[in-house]
A and B are shown apart, each in its own frame.
Chain A
């Protein structure tokens, strides 16, 4: 048994994406099988094997995935970003308001959404990187500000993105076009870009360095402040992107909300293997983690349980995943 495991770990495919990630992918298939078997039993007549279900699970996975990708950068530097949910909603609110009330063209509004996210990311990143404020409090404060700004801009009203007129609703095609999960393709492409940024550029390498040994980086004399700030800018920008995918699936955003998505994005990130201590991050893991979180919600609701069960299960599973990660790290050492 052990020998077989070792040989499996040695396979080039496994080595490329990491044993932990392969385990996660296996978990996805296991979960899918689990839900497929249980759903018709627990809810008569219901079937889990259904293309629509896959699409609907993906709908949830996209924006969580983007949020998770963004926060991966921040966690890689050893920080934390609490503001991503609120920033996502703020971006969606502001750009949606521009679309519905000011009638700006859709492509411009999408750019606005990304820019608003980037703006918040810059502010947060500046305070953390240049003024050395703790990221916990900064992102918390930024969350409050984002909630307030979004609400003020739309005068506390919710914004519903249009869904009928083709000229103004092609943003929905970014999520799904004639039944094809376009959003998944976009997620993979952007994830690949993020991976390139994190692993192959100087910026990314510095981010990971800051996370693993801040003192050493400081002593080395290299000015890494802008790279640390970049991590937060990425987080904010991706939150702005996530906003488009949120409205692509759910069309309406209300001011003052978005907090729950923080937890799920961070959970996805940590499940994927990114270490909260910083210094080690996995982009692929985050994407897989987002899919797991979305699939779990879909499956639990399909079986007829209330959303409360999803909270409990997500909490337990993430706990399990982190424990497994820690144990495997200890064994490596």
Chain B
């Protein structure tokens, strides 16, 4: 009787997520033991700060992935939206809340753009978002005349947005952003699993035809998945600006791979139909942990890449084996 209950408990938590959590703990202990600089509180805070924008992108991209698609435009999108936001503040003197609205608004717009083309015109998501990625990459530079984007720094007008991510009390920095992230993860998890839009998105991924036949307006929900992705790319743009302050135009290609990789490690299959926001959260934690821990253990940057690549393969192989069973 206990055995059965344990089994279903494990099933509920998700084998993949348990495996990831296990790997996270092992790696954490490893880095803790091997590197004195890793043990510092500031390193953990740094790790969370570098994690926010990837996490937001990953939460967003989980939705298109669940529909069996993908959104490659979030990386260059992040850069484009934040540069435009910076342009509004610095060149046009608008207040920061306007910039934030526009940044997120652009994300929603391009998400909608992607969604319509994929859902209505039936173009393959990969090539559609690849094209949007290129369009957005050039658009940021064109709109702002190639100027580097700079968001308000500490002490300037509008720097309160940084406090959303980390707050200093008596000299210690508290990663406030982490609280927001966890709340978002819980909220979006509920949206995914218990709301109508979430359930339809999962249905699109697992059996689109059946959903269509049942009379549901599939196009609307399919587009929503990409709107989510774009919306979170917009949020990620703000988070990126909050951590790194200056954004170089034309960059960003490659950021989406961290996010998508995190989601896939977390158990969201590329074929669609199943996925978990919590899993995505754990997957991104794993990638961030590698990104922070490896340099601290003294590895040069190129070794970091090889190891990250290898771990990705291992993680996916484990996922495959699990699915096979």
**What residues of chain A have their CB less than 8 Å away from a CB belonging to chain B?**
80, 82, 127, 131-134, 136-138, 140-145, 147-152, 156, 255-256, 259-260, 263, 266-267, 270, 276-277, 306-316, 318-319, 322-323, 326
Given contacts A80-B126, A156-B300, A326-B123, contact A319 B131 (CB under 8 A): yes
- Least distance between B96 CB and chain A CB atoms (Å): 26
B134 within 8 A of A: yes
B37 within 8 A of A: no
Q: Which residues of A sit under 8 angstroms from B249, Cβ to Cβ? A: 308
**Do A148 and B302 have beta carbons less than 8 Å apart?**
yes
Number of A-B residue pairs with CB-CB distance less than 8 Å in the complex they form: 152
- Least distance between A12 CB and chain B CB atoms (Å): 31
Partner of A137, one of B132, B133, B261: B261
B301 within 8 A of A: yes
Can you add 9 more A-B contacts, CB < 8 Å, to A140-B257, A312-B138?
A: A127-B313, A132-B320, A133-B313, A133-B316, A137-B261, A143-B309, A256-B301, A256-B302, A319-B127
**Do B306 and A145 have beta carbons less than 8 Å apart?**
yes
**What residues of chain B have their CB less than 8 Å away from a CB belonging to chain A?**
70, 117, 121-124, 126-128, 130-142, 146, 249-250, 253-254, 257, 260-261, 264, 269-271, 300-310, 312-313, 316-317, 320
Closest to B308 in A: A144
Q: Which residues of A sit under 8 angstroms from B136, Cβ to Cβ? A: 315
**Do B132 and A315 have beta carbons less than 8 Å apart?**
yes
**Do A144 and B117 have beta carbons less than 8 Å apart?**
no
- Least distance between A59 CB and chain B CB atoms (Å): 21
10 closest A-B pairs by beta carbon, nearest first, are: A311-B138, A144-B309, A315-B134, A151-B302, A148-B306, A148-B305, A308-B138, A315-B135, A308-B141, A312-B138
Q: Which residues of B sit under 8 angstroms from A308, Cβ to Cβ? A: 137-142, 146, 249-250
Q: Which residues of A sit under 8 angstroms from B117, Cβ to Cβ? A: 319, 323
Closest to B311 in A: A141
Partner of A322, one of B127, B134, B303, B309: B127
Partner of B309, one of A141, A276, A314: A141
Given contacts A140-B261, A308-B137, A308-B141, contact A133 B309 (CB under 8 A): no
**Do A144 and B306 have beta carbons less than 8 Å apart?**
yes
**Do B135 and A311 have beta carbons less than 8 Å apart?**
yes
Given contacts A276-B124, A315-B135, contact A147 B302 (CB under 8 A): yes
Q: Which residues of B sit under 8 angstroms from A140, Cβ to Cβ? A: 257, 260-261, 309, 312
A306 to B316, CA, bound (A): 40
A310 to B312, CA, bound (A): 33
**Do B316 and A138 have beta carbons less than 8 Å apart?**
yes
Interface of B is mostly: helix
Given contacts A306-B141, A311-B137, contact A152 B302 (CB under 8 A): yes
**Do B124 and A312 have beta carbons less than 8 Å apart?**
no
**Do A319 and B250 have beta carbons less than 8 Å apart?**
no
A241 to B123, CA, bound (A): 32
A80 to B70, CA, bound (A): 13
A313 to B136, CA, bound (A): 11
Q: Which residues of B sit under 8 angstroms from A312, Cβ to Cβ? A: 134-135, 137-139, 142
Given contacts A311-B137, A326-B122, contact A137 B306 (CB under 8 A): no
**Do B300 and A144 have beta carbons less than 8 Å apart?**
no
A277 to B176, CA, bound (A): 44
**Do A263 and B301 have beta carbons less than 8 Å apart?**
no
A selection of 9 A-B contacts at a CB cut-off of 8 Å is: A82-B257, A132-B320, A141-B308, A141-B309, A144-B306, A311-B134, A315-B133, A315-B135, A318-B130
A133 to B270, CA, bound (A): 11
A7 to B320, CA, bound (A): 52
Given contacts A80-B126, A319-B117, A326-B123, contact A309 B138 (CB under 8 A): yes
**Do B127 and A318 have beta carbons less than 8 Å apart?**
yes
Partner of A138, one of B128, B140, B313: B313
Given contacts A263-B134, A312-B142, contact A322 B124 (CB under 8 A): yes
- Least distance between B317 CB and chain A CB atoms (Å): 6
- Least distance between B224 CB and chain A CB atoms (Å): 21
Given contacts A263-B133, A263-B134, contact A151 B301 (CB under 8 A): yes
Partner of A323, one of B121, B134, B138, B317: B121
- Least distance between A321 CB and chain B CB atoms (Å): 9
- Least distance between A285 CB and chain B CB atoms (Å): 14
Q: Which residues of B sit under 8 angstroms from A131, Cβ to Cβ? A: 317, 320
- Least distance between A60 CB and chain B CB atoms (Å): 16
